[in-house]
Amino acid sequence: MSSDGELDEATVVALGELSEALETVERARGHLYSFHQLIGHADFTLGDAADDLAKAGHGEWAAEIHRELVGRNVLPGRWTYQVIEEFEDTYYEVFRALERRVRDDLAGGRRHLYEARLKERRRSKGMPGHEAAPG
């Protein structure tokens, strides 16, 4: 820290990169949940298609679809909820906890210091819509 209690620029940049990496992982996690929901929807629609094929007189195709695909694992032994749980337990939670520990140690828990400095440099002080903080 500098004499005025502010963090040095190199530390702020590094914390900004750490934050950006976590934000990217958060986005990836969201895509994983999208994958989970899309696969679940597809599985139910697939079951409906098989049922409709059976009603239309195509029982062999319907039976094969049910046997081979409906309820099938997306990875060995795993449905998508299990993929999410493993991701969260083995990577996501570890990442979040470590990011918080680093931020707590180096910045007193303050978040988005890089962005705060960027805002201070880029805003037009005194102009409407450029206030430093809400009301």
Residue range 10-56, pLDDT digits in tens: 999 999 999 999 999 999 999 999 999 999 999 999 999 999 999 99
What range defines the domain where residue 109 resides?
Answer: 9-118
Give the count of domains, the chain.
1
Contacts 24+ apart (CB under 8 A), 16-22: 16/112, 16/113, 16/114, 16/115, 18/99, 18/102, 18/103, 19/99, 19/103, 19/111, 19/112, 19/114, 21/95, 21/99, 22/95, 22/96, 22/99
In a domain, 23, yes or no: yes
In a domain, 130, yes or no: no
Task: Give the model's confidence band at 5: pLDDT under 50 very low, under 70 low, under 90 confident, else very high.
Answer: low
What are the residues whose beta carbons fall under 8 Å from the beta carbon of 66, sequence distance 6 or more?
A: 47, 50
In a domain, 102, yes or no: yes
In a domain, 73, yes or no: yes
Mean pLDDT (whole number) for 77-87: 98
In a domain, 31, yes or no: yes
> pTM for the full model?
0.84
